[in-house]
Structure 1
Amino acid sequence: MSLRRIVIRYTIVTLLVAFVLGYAIKGVVEKRAYLEAIDFFQYNPNAGKVVAAAEKLGMDPFEYYVKYIAPKNHPELGKSSLRVGLEYLVLTFKGLLGPSRERGWSYLCGFIKPSWDFVYNTLIFLVMAEVAVVLLALLLSFRAVKSERFSGFLQTAARAFNGIPVWFFVVLFFLLIIYSPIPSDLANGLKGSGLRMLAYFVFPVLSVLLVASWGLAEGITVVMREEFGQFYVEAKRAMGLPESRVKRHIVRASIVPVMHVWLQNFIEVQTLVLVVDYLFKLNGLGTVLASTLIITPDSVFFFPGTFAFVVMVLVLLNFLVSMTVEVLSIKLEPRGGK
């Protein structure tokens, strides 16, 4: 039942994204059609016939061109926004799996052509950040479970750090790099390859760690404290079981709810990763996402193709991780064996 809910939830998310994406694509295509209409009425010998047909219908010739002539070259104009969005999402998905034809839609991607290289950089950053966040959160939560005083400190810290934007720590690390012997290259984007490249992720990971670990630690602490208050804990102690075995039972019983707490944290961390990725010039999905909107004094340019690539990758990633967590939760659920 839970697996079905996950599928339904992400289906709704995909449809919503497809509708917004399709609406944006149709807007871009319609703008191109209006530009094509200028050349058509200036140089095409059939322009007079189109003007006459538009006048019979009481329409502006440009509107007539966009509505009745442009769809021959731009079939998207004659389709619903949802259908256009779904078609482009399918095209994006095929592009993730391998080379595919772009149907002349390459202009929707702007100045940056999305590729797997951007995904790899973001996945490396995301995995490193999550490992660091989870390890620190576990250390903090285990300490908080043992100490009521530290638990209060953890709650206060979680409220404080959750209210600080991640870019604040990015700026602090930039200042540290600038005014210290630390190589300035660490703030100027990725360089090198292999293990040498990992050094450029140190400060980005620390930026995410300082924001995301406290909330996760607080969530794990709440789950663990609730488990300590269950009746079976006192029953096992009354049976004479050593405290170490009792704690092992508690940890095992807490795995499933902790996994769901982590899943929520994992989804939230992705936003931090995108922001830090762009600020530290890690050449990942944050850089791609920043290129989807370009504002100039004269106009605003939105590239829905690039936006679709980033959203599609994140939706697929979250869907796969959510399904994996749910399957593991079903297999690891210990309630029936207490």
Structure 2
Amino acid sequence: MIASMSPVMKQRYNELMKRKTEMQQKAEQLKGEIESIEKMMPVLGDQVYVSPVKMEMFENEVKLWDLNNKKSNLLAEIRDNLEPEDEFKSLLNRIKEDKLQIGIMEKAISEISEEIRHGEAVLTQLQEKKVDESRNVAKYLELRKKELAIDDFLGSVESRRQDELNSLDALDAQILPLLKTLAARLSTIPTLADYKSMSLSQSHVVKRDLLNTVKSVSNEFINLFCYLNKIVKMGNKVEEDLNKVTKNTHTMSVEMETYTNIADLETGINKKKEELTAARQTLSGARSSTKSSVIEVTAKFNEVQRQLSESERYAQILFIEKSC
């Protein structure tokens, strides 16, 4: 294995072996010092209570503590400075672990991205449902406004109908006197027997009175015809208004079939609005947390990539793999 190494790797291997030997020697030396100090500890402990040299004991304990720390550090360095073959295997294992971790991170990023897309789709659906609910509410308010307008119109129609009835009563009251007047005027018209019994002078006077009576009766007939024509027009207008009201009422009834229960509709709208608001808040919080997770995982992934790109050992291993 050593013979197949490149000159650079051989030099690196020799340096590591030399450093390992030096550390082992230094560790043995420190171990001997620690053992000698540990042997002196019981004697120093006995002297603490009978001798005033407490400062010396304290310094020795500090020195022992320092030596133990140095020993631990040297042992850690020895463990870190493995044989080139062991170091190579360790680096390979580390690269495999890093690749596995990168794969896990990429999978987590993909899952989080999918969750974000799903959350955005659900949020879009909820917003569309909210728009539909708003349209239904607007339609309900519009129908409610139409219903109030029809109620007002029906009230005004009733008032107008009463006014027309009063006008008809007034016309009836005017027609009856006219008929009585006509009957009285007609009774004054001379008959044929009256004309035969009249003298010539009386016939001129009667003729003049008759002409006046006929003119008066004609005027009364004209007035009566006008009143009757007005009554007919008023009746037609009332009938037209009633037909219009009937048509509007039927249209309103058809449109209000889906809104028969106003209280239940308002309760359902409020409940659905609360559910949409709660779902939107939940999705907003989940979206924020998933974005934070994506940012965190991406940062870790970039950090691992950076460490690998800056690692000389990783570059050497890639070079060796390509060479093999």
Name the TM tier (shorter chain): under 0.3
Q: TM-score, normalised by structure 1?
A: 0.21
**Structure with the greater relative contact order (CA < 8 A, sep ≥ 6): 1 or 2?**
2
